[in-house]
Amino acid sequence: MQQSISCTVAEAADFLRARLPATPDLALVLGSGLGELADEIESPVCIPYGEIPHFPVSTAPGHAGRFVCGRLNGRLVLCMQGRFHYYEGHDMAAIALPVRVLKALGCKALILTNAAGGVNWDFSVGDFMLITDHINFMGANPLRGANDDAIGPRFCDMTQVYTPAFQEAARRVAAQQGIALREGVYLGYMGPSFETPAEIRAFRTLGADAVGMSTVPEAIAASHCGLPVLGVSLITNMAAGMAGKRLSGDEVIEIANQRGPIFRRFIRTVAGELPL
């Protein structure tokens, strides 16, 4: 007999709870090239994903594959230093599992970060984009299959996936730090191949401002289980056909590393300012 989603979540949450110093206030998911923020956490407790019941192992470049818990800007946070992607071969249930576990542990909010390609012609490499909405173009949904009512409703409202009050906090921090914070719609693409120029033109017509291979399944899972979300993208490249050159994963990591100190300061400050 197949185990229910809530039982799987409970087993993973119980394992983590026994190893954490206290109930974390805030959870963060760090995208490609952005994992060094976890190194700034005070008195860290580190737990590799491979030790946690039912958790897969992250294989994406630049993803350490562990939880890091400790103090960040005065708040007790639980940080995912690396995430799971659909393109790695994980099913959507595996990608949704960490979000559901974070909710079960008592986290009050979730910050999702990612490295993304710019689709909006007004954007530049190195920009930060506040995610105001998303388009799911991954061909799958983490809520597909039997619903566990203990986790969330069968039909999940997606009107305000990205919490308006959190967006306001991010705008205030950006203004204080002199950051030109872009805003826009993130389109989730399955990957791992980059998009074609024709696909990027189509995505722009659909209303996308940035494109990436993560975040959307996690945001859907968070909305389903009632976990408020802030989403921020670091634009590490202009999408296919926009810059007149080939795309590479190395470029993504390089730009993320260059902009990393400013991005980490921004996210660290926002983590302390969110109205939980």
Q: Any idea what the CATH number is for the domain that residue 125 is in?
A: 3.40.50.1580
pLDDT for res 1? 42
pLDDT digits (tens, 9 = 90+) for 192-217: 999 999 999 999 999 999 999 999 99
CA distances (Å), 82 to each of 34, 49, 132, 202, in order?
A: 9, 10, 22, 30
Which residue range is the domain that position 183 belongs to?
5-273
Q: Chain centroid to CA 11: how far?
A: 23
When divided into structural domains, the chain yields a total of: 1
CA distances (Å), 151 to each of 50, 71, 96, 148, 262, in order?
A: 24, 28, 11, 6, 36
* Over residues 130-145, mean pLDDT: 97
What letter does residue 144 receive in the DSSP assignment?
-
pLDDT digits (tens, 9 = 90+) for 18-32: 999 999 999 999 987
pLDDT for res 2? 58
CA distances (Å), 242 to each of 62, 187, 254, in order?
A: 25, 17, 19
* Over residues 179-188, mean pLDDT: 98
Rounded distance between C-alpha atoms, residue 178 and residue 220, angstroms: 31
pTM of the complete model: 0.95
Rounded distance between C-alpha atoms, residue 4 and residue 228, angstroms: 24
